[in-house]
């Protein structure tokens, strides 16, 4: 890969990967709607609003692969999600096609399948059950990725990211934690593996409590180094500080499921920890 573009460079994931990726991809181009305040002298940056197709085409020029971490990263109003994650995502894939980009890594989310119960172990081929408008936008992005892979030959990898960070922060995140270095490994598979066409992987480290069957990632050589259970005591101590949330504690999506929830609770079990 001669040049890699990473959108969302000012976000939490982007900020972390800015430190980890340059030794692997020296010609790394960063982008976000605004320049990161801590941009280093050796970092290359081009600002772009994802909702502006012409601006997105400009940052994709001369690019071989894209790490698409840009967009609205939490639940928001429909207008916020629509502009950044629906229009913005379409613009990214369309600009990539027009500019001859070879590969795209799309940052999907566990919230695309958040309404599966925690006791239900799922693979990557399940019917989407988004838990939020944000989750809906990630289902859209995965579908768009499949379209551009099948119709236009773009090699696309969608990563249903769990909880990215240095350590899992509570009981739920012991099951979905993703160590930064493990995310880098998944990105490298998507950018470099010769057999990628269209794939969906779960963005999770080796978590013994996982609700996800991530064998497709392992088939492509994924070998995570992070282990959620190493942080069990800290995570459970933090969990004890949280208020009970019967809906969020039942479903995989956590509080994304319980916010604005006014559905039927009759099938929900209030699990005691």
Burial state string for 231-245 with b = 16 or more CB within 10 A and e = fewer than 16 = beeebeebbeeeeeb
Q: Which two tokens stand for residue 39?
A: 């941009």
Single out the residue of 191, 15, 56, 178 nearest to residue 109, CA to CA.
178
Catalytic site residue from 72, 90, 134, 222: 134
Strands (E), the chain: 4-7, 28-32, 44-47, 65-68, 103-109, 155-161, 163-164, 177-178, 198-203
Phi, psi of 230 (to 5 degrees): -65, -20
What is the C-alpha separation between 96 and 66, in angstroms, rounded?
A: 8
3-state secondary structure of 236: helix
* Whether the Cβ atoms of residue 46 and residue 84 lie closer than 8 Å to each other: no
The total of other beta-carbon atoms located within 10 Å of residue 186's CB is 23
Q: Are strands 4-7 and 163-164 parallel, antiparallel or unpaired?
A: unpaired
Q: Is 202 a catalytic residue?
A: no
Characterize 49-60 residue by residue with b for buried, 16 or more Cβ atoms within 10 angstroms of its Cβ, and e for exposed. bbbebebbbebb
| Active centre residues (catalytic) | 134
């Amino acid at each position: 890969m001669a040049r890699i573009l990473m959108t969302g460079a000012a976000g939490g994931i982007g900020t972390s990967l800015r430190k980890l990726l340059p030794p692997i991809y020296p010609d790394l181009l960063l982008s976000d709607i605004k320049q990161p305040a801590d941009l280093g002298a050796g970092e290359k940056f081009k600002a772009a609003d994802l909702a502006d197709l012409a601006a997105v085409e400009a940052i994709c020029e001369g690019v071989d692969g894209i790490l698409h971490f840009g967009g609205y990263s939490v639940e928001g109003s429909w207008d916020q999600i629509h502009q950044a994650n629906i229009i913005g995502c379409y613009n990214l894939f369309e600009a990539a096609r027009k500019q001859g980009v070879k590969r795209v890594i799309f940052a999907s989310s566990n919230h695309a399948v958040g309404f599966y119960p925690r006791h239900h172990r799922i693979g990557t081929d399940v019917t989407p059950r988004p838990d939020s408008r944000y989750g809906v936008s990630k289902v859209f992005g995965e579908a768009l990725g499949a379209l551009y892979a099948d119709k236009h030959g773009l090699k696309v990898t969608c990563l249903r990211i769990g909880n990215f960070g240095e350590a899992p922060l509570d009981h739920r995140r012991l099951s979905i934690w993703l160590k930064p270095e493990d995310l880098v490994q998944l990105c490298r598979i998507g950018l470099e593996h010769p057999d990628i066409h269209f794939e969906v992987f779960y963005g999770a480290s080796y978590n013994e409590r996982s609700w996800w069957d991530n064998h497709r990632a392992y088939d492509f050589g994924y070998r995570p180094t992070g282990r959620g259970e190493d942080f069990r005591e800290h995570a459970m101590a933090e969990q004890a500080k949280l208020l009970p949330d019967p809906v969020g504690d039942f479903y995989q999506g956590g509080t994304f499921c319980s916010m604005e929830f006014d559905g039927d609770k009759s099938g929900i079990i209030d699990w005691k920890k």
